[in-house]
């Protein structure tokens, strides 16, 4: 990723938080596209003929679980973007401590520091 990205991130452009914001927004787009694909896949199985097939239904359960995890992640990412706008991103929402860079690298949308996430 280029630091001189032309993405409009206000004064955050080129700052570490600005880079996070771009990452989070891209992830949000990715997840949205994936959830749409899952919805279409599930809709295509509503035909009663499909319901007869146990393997298809197992597949649907996996898809629904994936979709649920995706929705949760989307909520967390939106909350993280709101924290960036509120200038509180990177601070643990529970204890206020700084969330480490390494942890943010692994889970950029985490609202909790390592200690509180346990």
Residues that bind Zn ion (CB under 5 A): 92, 94-95, 97, 113, 116
What token pair was written down for 78? 């939106």
Minimum CB separation of residue 98 from Zn ion in Å reads 9
Minimum CB separation of residue 95 from Zn ion in Å reads 3
Query: Residue 90 and residue 84: Cα distance in Å, rounded?
Result: 8
Per-residue CA distances from 10 to 23, 76, 117 (Å): 15, 22, 31
Minimum CB separation of residue 62 from Zn ion in Å reads 33
DSSP 36: H
Nearer to Zn ion, 57 or 114 (CB): 114
Evaluate whether 79 touches 109 at the Cβ level (below 8 Å): yes
Nearer to Zn ion, 34 or 94 (CB): 94
Nearer to Zn ion, 41 or 98 (CB): 98
Nearer to Zn ion, 9 or 110 (CB): 110
Minimum CB separation of residue 112 from Zn ion in Å reads 6
What token pair was written down for 23? 């990452």
Q: What is the dihedral of CA 64, 65, 67, 73, to 10 degrees?
A: 160
């Amino acid at each position: 990723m280029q630091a001189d990205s032309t993405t409009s991130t206000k004064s955050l452009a080129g700052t570490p938080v600005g880079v996070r914001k771009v990452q989070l927004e891209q992830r949000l787009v990715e997840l949205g596209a994936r959830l749409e694909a899952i919805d279409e896949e599930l809709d295509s199985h509503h035909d009663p003929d499909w319901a007869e097939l146990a393997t298809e239904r197992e597949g649907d359960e996996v898809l629904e679980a994936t979709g649920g995890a995706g929705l949760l992640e989307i909520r967390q990412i939106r909350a993280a973007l709101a924290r960036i706008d509120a200038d509180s991103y990177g601070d643990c929402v529970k204890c206020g401590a700084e969330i480490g860079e390494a942890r943010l690298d692994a889970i950029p949308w985490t609202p909790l520091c390592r200690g509180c996430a346990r």
